[in-house]
Chains A and B, each alone.
Chain A
Amino acid sequence: MHLRDLLGSQLVAIRGGALGTIHDVRLVQDGPVLGSFGAALRLDGLLAGPGAVGVRFGYAHGHVDAPALLATALRAESHRLLFAAWSDVVAVSEGVVYVRAGTALTEPPTTGTGKVYEAAFEILDRQLVDVRGRLAGKVDDLGFGSTDGSVHVETIRCGPGAIAEHVGGKPGRWLATVYRRLHEGEGDPASVSFGTVRTIGPELTLALPREDLDVMAFEAWIRDRFISKLPGSSG
């Protein structure tokens, strides 16, 4: 299961009805130890409601509160963003996540067990920086895995293959086609263990050199076939 499969899906209660659209996913850092990152990010719950823009900009939960014009307009749009615990989820299918009958959305509870992240707002689409400070791709998606009954973030999915089908429309199909042509027979987009993450901030820093990431294959190809052939490319 991937983060982008959940985002934008409908949240539906069994024998109840639609509860809203999933706009973000709450992660708590209290999972089993994962590499040098420490405790893994456990999937704590889903954040659903009517509006998406305020969530994405940080107005929904008071991360950002200015300028007043945007804060007022977008808080009204997104003030009903509410929480459903992952433990209430019974099934995930394409575009729909089902929760136990009788589940109602609540205010997000306070958690004392670990640092809390909102995945789409704070982690998704951020820049990856390698151990030597070089740029190494984006957090194009997150991959979840489960152990001991809980679900946590296991991998960062990286490369156009992870976003192509989510861009949508004609440009998305075009991107997906170009990606498939360039990566014939290679299957999935590259994945990096979340255990190699060192810090999460405006960028995610990794404990690896970028040469160790599969996502650099295309960069290497362009470098060796094209850029290195031009005079002065190492100058």
Chain B
Amino acid sequence: MKRILEIFLGILTAFGGFVDIGDLVANAETGARFGLSLAWVVLVGVIGIVLFSEMCGRVAAISHRPVFDVVRERLGVRVAFVNLVASFFINFLTIGAEIGGLALVVELATGINYLLWVPLLGVAVWIVIWKVRFQTMEKAFGLTGLALLVFVVALARLHPDWGSLVRAATHPSVPPSEDLATYAFFAIALLGAAMTPYEVFFFSSGAVEEGWTREDLMVNRANVYLGFPLGGLLSLAIMTTAALVMKPRGISVDSLAQLTLPIGLTVGKIGVAFLLIGMFAAIFSAALETSLSAGYTVAQFFGWQWGKFVKPREAARFHAVVLVSIGAATLFILTTVDPVKVTEYSIVLAAAALPLTYLPILVVANDPTYMGTNVNSKITNAIGSVYLVLLLAVAVATIPLMIVTKAGA
């Protein structure tokens, strides 16, 4: 019974923790601009992250190797170092985006300029990482993030014509006001938001933090096969709400404040309160995950002690990297760069960098010296190969599309 409750809680945590600043911005922005004509990308992204995370979780449970150990073991020190520099940079942008996003949420709640909140929130993120137990931290923010289900309530209150929504989602076409390059660029942004690499750094390192073994493969599957798709449905609800409320009015989403509009219109003040709490918790949880991921990637590349399962003084270099990353990201946001812009760049670059981590995991998940009998099934490999080709194509196309479309402007 206790076991079932634990698995259930794990699913809810994965569900509530799925959405972060990247998903909020990408889904609302594309919904307002493209209606549901990019909804299929969310499906592609969710299947991708399910596939990728399940492999990472299984590798971690069986061989106790987190992602960046595997990256170095399979790609060799030279390619792995380039990979580390790229992953660390993108992850750094994401930490900045999350801290900036948090500050914007607090500005919405208090009316006090977000820049004042940035340093305070940077410190708050660090204190939680420093003091709060891993499981407590993960569950508390993941579960509170479920307040974002207010988007589902809003959607129901809009009484949409479900038939025409499904038709729009299943018969995608480039809207007449947009060109194909911009459409493709936003597709990549949505894919990057759903499949951000820090999610797998965190998921696999978290599995090692929690001491997963063969017996936890069930927990892995439950989290990934149920929690993530539910998170994907929530992403679709955000996109659909924006498509129904913003698109007909010609409002484009370029700030978090605009997300309160559809909720305020349909659910009222209570709804907006839920929205702010949900956004705060979901983004805070992502800020913790990305900050820890900065430490995870560097420590795992060099073989240093890492993790919250030991006392901070036992993993000094790991905690130093985490602290310095949070500090630097906080300063970066204090330069008054637009956090929403930082988010947009971080998810697009994340999509381009995906093959760097995806390829070694796919190889090791098939290596019996790591996995014993728990190597990939034929079906996983078939879908995994399709995604390998897809992610390589995305990686090649991203930078040219970014230049051609002036980053979707």
Number of interface residues of A (CB under 8 A): 49
Complex-state Cα separation, A228 to B197, whole angstroms: 31
Taking a contact as CB atoms under 8 Å apart, the answer to whether A58 and B363 are in contact is yes
Check: B2 CB closer than 8 A to any chain A CB: no
Residue in A69, A138, A202 whose CB lies within 8 Å of B388: A69
Check: B266 CB closer than 8 A to any chain A CB: no
In chain B, positions 304-356 with a C-beta closer than 8 Å to chain A are 304-306, 310-314, 316-317, 319-320
Q: Which of A138, A166, A202, A232 has the most CB of B within 10 A?
A: A202
Taking a contact as CB atoms under 8 Å apart, the answer to whether B363 and A57 are in contact is yes
Q: Chain A contacts of B75 at CB under 8 A?
A: 56
Residue in A64, A65, A167, A222 whose CB lies within 8 Å of B77: A167
Among the 9-residue stretches A42-50, A99-107, A128-136, the one with 4 or more Cβ atoms under 8 Å from chain B is: A128-136
B interface SS class: helix
Complex-state Cα separation, A128 to B300, whole angstroms: 11
Q: Chain B contacts of A220 at CB under 8 A?
A: 316
Q: Chain B contacts of A202 at CB under 8 A?
A: 63-65, 369-370
Check: B255 CB closer than 8 A to any chain A CB: no
Residue in A68, A160, A210, A233 whose CB lies within 8 Å of B302: A160
Complex-state Cα separation, A226 to B130, whole angstroms: 14
Residue in A64, A168, A218 whose CB lies within 8 Å of B367: A64
Q: Chain B contacts of A66 at CB under 8 A?
A: 366, 375-376, 378, 381
Taking a contact as CB atoms under 8 Å apart, the answer to whether B302 and A67 are in contact is no
Complex-state Cα separation, A202 to B304, whole angstroms: 16
Taking a contact as CB atoms under 8 Å apart, the answer to whether A64 and B305 are in contact is no
Taking a contact as CB atoms under 8 Å apart, the answer to whether B303 and A70 are in contact is no
- Beyond the given A58-B363, A128-B303, A134-B310, please list 18 additional residue pairs across the A-B interface where CB-CB is below 8 A: A56-B75, A67-B362, A67-B382, A67-B385, A70-B362, A122-B369, A127-B69, A136-B303, A138-B302, A140-B77, A201-B369, A219-B304, A223-B313, A227-B316, A228-B316, A230-B312, A232-B312, A234-B312
> Which 7 A-B pairs rank lowest in CB-CB distance, beginning with the nearest?
A138-B303, A223-B316, A67-B381, A227-B316, A69-B385, A137-B303, A202-B63
Residues of A within 8 A of B (CB): 56-58, 63-70, 120, 122, 125-128, 134-138, 140, 158, 160, 163, 166-168, 171-172, 175, 201-203, 210, 218-220, 222-223, 226-228, 230, 232-235
